[in-house]
């Protein structure tokens, strides 16, 4: 799934490049849209007492993105099993094949008490069982 992200002045640091922590926000948008495309409502899961929390993040910053760039964020589900889902993210500048940033984010399913619970079958079905 590709999500276009325009870089605004507010996204940059004093050097004019995207502030490193903003990529976490972009990755979150990618996961949200990935799930929305599959008609997954995190609100519905929350109402059932199920939350999905980030337990691990790895990011590699390869090349800087700058103000007014149009980036394309590719978000893929690479694994879903037990209590976790793993997403792979990759960002490129529009019209370029050069990867600027890549990372993985692991989410765990937990109850409202914060304890891990098995990944809901409903989620597995909606996202294709993890066969990315």
Residues serving a catalytic function are 13
The distance from CA 46 to its chain's CA centroid, rounded to whole angstroms, is 18
The residue assigned the tokens 């979150």 is 28
The distance from CA 89 to its chain's CA centroid, rounded to whole angstroms, is 6
Measure CA of the first residue to CA of the last residue in the chain; give whole Å.
Answer: 11
Strand order in the sheet with 70-81: 2-6, 70-81, 84-93, 99-111, 50-61
At residue 121, the 3 state secondary structure works out as helix
């Amino acid at each position: 799934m590709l999500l276009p992200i325009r870089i605004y002045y507010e996204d940059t640091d004093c050097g004019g490049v995207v502030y490193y922590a903003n990529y976490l926000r972009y990755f979150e948008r990618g996961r949200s849209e990935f799930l929305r495309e599959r008609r997954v409502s995190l609100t519905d899961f929350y109402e059932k007492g199920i939350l999905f929390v980030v337990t691990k993040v790895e990011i590699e910053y390869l090349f800087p993105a700058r103000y007014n760039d149009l980036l394309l964020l590719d978000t893929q589900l690479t694994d879903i099993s037990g209590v976790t889902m793993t997403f792979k993210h990759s960002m490129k500048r529009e019209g370029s094949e050069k990867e600027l940033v890549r990372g993985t984010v692991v989410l765990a399913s937990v109850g409202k008490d914060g304890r891990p619970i098995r990944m809901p079958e409903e989620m597995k079905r909606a996202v294709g069982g993890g066969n990315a």
